Chains A and B, each alone.
Chain A
Amino acid sequence: MLQGKQSWMFTTSPSIASTGVVGGPFEAKGNVARDFDHLFDDLWMSETSFENAQKKLMEEASTIALSKINKQPEDIQFVFAGDLINQITTTSFACRTLGIPYLGLFGACSTSMEGLALSAMVIENNGAEYILTGSASHNAAVEKQFRYPTEYGSQKPPTAQWTATAAGFAVVGRQGEGPSMTSATLGKVVDRGMTDPFNMGGAMAPAAADTVEAHFTDLNRDPSYYDYIITGDLGKVGLPLMKELLREKGIMVTDEQCLDCGTLLYKEDQKVQAGASGSGCSSAVVYGHILNRMKNNEMSTVLVVATGALLSPLTYQQKESIPCIAHAVAIEQKGVGSS
């Protein structure tokens, strides 16, 4: 139910029944490789195009998520998913394979939490028994659309980020053993007039801060409620900016408390400048690494704030600034710690 201006409280504890997380060869060398269910050793993934490879990431992640709880696609009522490619075609192709009634989402890299929040809301209100939700990105497919050709020798600035080749899908069901969603805050479009597409973290930080602030205001909570506040892909540049913005507003988050999926995904020596990005980044890291750490009792209450930069190559060429958004979902592991 609605709480405050833009948040939902879930009273029936819709939970994550299962997840499927897949990645590419570069992620296999990364920091959280062990948290992936499957890692492809080739960027093409035996497909004829990188867009099809991204579709394969989605299909594979979905299949793994379903198989872990012995479900067939027909057991799932809806799928809420999206990606970054024009008209989210790869998601549509993946959902053609799945054959599950489908709502396409576009929230750029915030799609993972947009989908999770909507899934929890629909399950909470008995709109479905099971919903599949998630997102994917493929380095070569996404960079092709938004940036220069991948083999083009341009020198990237230290604020640039590396699009992850990864997909994370979750089956959301009614109250169960898995970690459950307790609340969500949907963000509004925030645009501070940042124009550099090689500094997404800097552009998205105000959107993340805006959603986190709204979350604490709506729910009348303070940061100490959460073990961790995990942002989607602010990276090394955006995360400190968000912390500063929150502290200016009197929301005293600690440095240890704030993690970012974009800085978790790769190792220091992988030369990805400011970290990972892409709609597959937060979905894979949260549904893999973070949920595993929750299962291992290393975390019990987390607020995941997935951030998205809602630009297109066209808006950039027309000198428009970068509109950004962030959606937050609180995930709690029952029976651990206090809540």
Chain B
Amino acid sequence: MSQKQQESVNQTYQKFAQKQEPKIPVAANCIKAFLIGGAVCTFGQGLRSFFLHFFNFNEQTSGDPTLAVLILIAVLLTGFGVYDNISQFAGAGTAVPVTGFANSMASAAIEYRTEGIVLGIGANMFKLAGPVIVFGTVAAFLIAIIKTIWMQVAGG
């Protein structure tokens, strides 16, 4: 079979397979993500108000203990092996808030603990979270440059 014929056979199959594939329920997933993600954020807001009213925190600083508590809960749920089950249901609802970031680090740390503290946990903890930090920093850098140039041109 020539390469062209092979490609056509491949494409025919890929289209056929795609047609038979069970579809990802995007709409239902979005609704679930919205509800669960919203619930996580509402809970976070509740925590923030709690720290604001009952402890010595102000509007700016009350976010810190709130994040710490959410991270702690996410890490504990990861360790107990239930976070991934919640995520299968909630999708982006548990991935987008700070809990998703905590889960990505805790799950990688748990996964590689049999390879030792340095080469296992240390080397792999940021396996999933690493790209977020890298591209977050790169994006911040680019935006900062654009802002600086803009200020020079327009604001000068």
Q: Tell me the A residues contacting B by CB distance below 8 Å.
A: 48-51, 144, 148-159, 191-194, 199, 202, 205-206, 236-237, 240-241, 244, 271, 274
A112 to chain B, nearest CB (A): 25
Q: Are A148 and B114 in contact (CB under 8 A)?
A: no
**B103 to chain A: which residues have CB within 8 Å?**
151-153
**A206 to chain B: which residues have CB within 8 Å?**
13
B65 to chain A, nearest CB (A): 23
A50-B114, A149-B128, A237-B21 are contacts. A156–B88 as well, Cβ < 8 Å? yes
B109-152 residues at the A interface, CB under 8 angstroms:
110-112, 114, 127-128
The distance in angstroms between the C-alpha atoms of A274 and B104, with both chains bound, is 25
The proximity string for B residues 54-66 relative to A, scoring 1 for CB distances below 8 Å and 0 otherwise, is: 0000000000000
B10 within 8 A of A: yes
Question: Which secondary structure characterizes the binding site on chain A?
Answer: loop
A158-B22, A206-B13 are contacts. A149–B100 as well, Cβ < 8 Å? no
**B91 to chain A: which residues have CB within 8 Å?**
155
The distance in angstroms between the C-alpha atoms of A194 and B14, with both chains bound, is 7
Max chain B Cβ within 10 angstroms of own Cβ: one of A155, A240, A271 = A155
30 contacts between A and B (CB under 8 A): A50-B114, A149-B110, A149-B112, A149-B128, A150-B111, A151-B83, A151-B106, A151-B110, A152-B84, A152-B103, A152-B104, A152-B111, A153-B84, A153-B86, A153-B88, A153-B90, A153-B100, A153-B103, A154-B84, A155-B29, A155-B92, A192-B10, A192-B14, A193-B13, A193-B14, A202-B17, A205-B17, A206-B13, A237-B22, A240-B20
B136 to chain A, nearest CB (A): 19
The distance in angstroms between the C-alpha atoms of A144 and B120, with both chains bound, is 12
Q: Are B114 and A159 in contact (CB under 8 A)?
A: no
The distance in angstroms between the C-alpha atoms of A236 and B21, with both chains bound, is 10
**A144 to chain B: which residues have CB within 8 Å?**
111-112
A192-B14, A193-B10, A194-B14 are contacts. A153–B20 as well, Cβ < 8 Å? no
